[in-house]
């Protein structure tokens, strides 16, 4: 089955393709020649994911899905949440976002957080939502060279390593995106 993944984020495409395996051909926006950013104007992950999927479906009329992901930190009342990509500004620099989180958590003992991903799938015109959550804690400083975004400061529950210290294979066993992808894959295989 061929699916368009409505993202320009190559890291996300690689992660998801490695989970989907060979049964699905994943096309990124770049693969279909779509280079513009799709607006994320809404204040929920669900609404933003649906908006992106609807935008691509309206143009291509092909089965597609989109995601929106947020890092939700207890001590920051769920922030950065839906604004995770642009938490430190519209330039969307991961390093700036990480630094802002760490600054806002200075002196805070409650470091609990969760990553939450929502996928919006449009399959033959029907819409479906899938959610993946991984709980963890925010570290005192960034560690690791792999991953992207907030991975260097997110330590999943039950682990001593940040996502950025894990291999892609290790991360894909437990991550929020992996959990949402498994739900999506299960749905597609049993449809």
pLDDT single digits (tens) 128-186? 999 999 999 999 999 999 888 999 999 999 999 999 999 988 998 999 999 999 999 99
Residues 6 or more apart whose Cβ sits within 8 Å of residue 32: 4, 60
**pLDDT (0 to 100) of residue 104:** 97
Over residues 69-84, the mean pLDDT reads 97
Structure-token pair, residue 67: 């995601």
**pLDDT (0 to 100) of residue 52:** 96
Q: Examine the pLDDT at 94 and tell me if it is beyond 90.
A: yes
Over residues 95-123, the mean pLDDT reads 97
Range of the structural domain that residue 145 is part of: 2-189
Look up 68 and say whether it is catalytic: yes
pTM value > 0.85? yes
The one catalytic residue among 31, 37, 68, 96: 68
Over residues 39-67, the mean pLDDT reads 95
3 state DSSP class of 76:
helix
Q: How many domains does the chain have?
A: 1
- Local confidence band at 1 (pLDDT 50, 70, 90 cut-offs): confident
Over residues 45-72, the mean pLDDT reads 96
Over residues 23-40, the mean pLDDT reads 89
Q: What is the CATH number of the domain that holds 56?
A: 3.90.950.10
115 - beta bridge partners?
A: 71, 134
Structure-token pair, residue 145: 């060279």
- Helix, strand and coil content of the chain, in percent to the nearest 5, comes to 40, 25, 35
Q: At CA 115, angle to CA 37 and CA 128, rounded to 5?
A: 65
**pLDDT (0 to 100) of residue 119:** 97
Q: Examine the pLDDT at 120 and tell me if it is beyond 90.
A: yes
**pLDDT (0 to 100) of residue 14:** 86
């Amino acid at each position: 089955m061929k699916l368009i993944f409505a993202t320009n984020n190559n890291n996300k495409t690689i992660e998801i393709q490695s989970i989907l395996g060979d049964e699905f051909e994943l096309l990124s926006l770049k693969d279909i020649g779509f280079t513009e950013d799709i607006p994320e104007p809404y204040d929920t992950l669900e609404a933003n994911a649906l908006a992106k999927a609807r935008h691509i479906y309206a143009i291509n009329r092909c089965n597609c899905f989109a995601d929106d992901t947020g890092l939700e930190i207890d001590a920051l009342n769920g922030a950065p949440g839906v604004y995770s990509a642009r938490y430190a500004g519209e330039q969307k620099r991961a390093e700036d976002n990480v630094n802002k989180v760490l600054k806002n958590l200075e002196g805070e003992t409650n470091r609990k957080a969760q990553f939450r991903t929502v996928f919006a799938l449009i399959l033959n015109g029907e819409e479906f939502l899938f959610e993946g959550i991984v709980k963890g804690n925010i570290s005192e400083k960034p560690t690791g060279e792999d991953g992207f975004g907030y991975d260097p400061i997110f330590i999943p529950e039950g682990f001593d390593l940040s996502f950025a210290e894990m291999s892609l294979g290790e991360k894909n066993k437990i991550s929020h995106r992996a959990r949402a992808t498994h739900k999506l894959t299960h749905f597609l295989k049993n449809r």
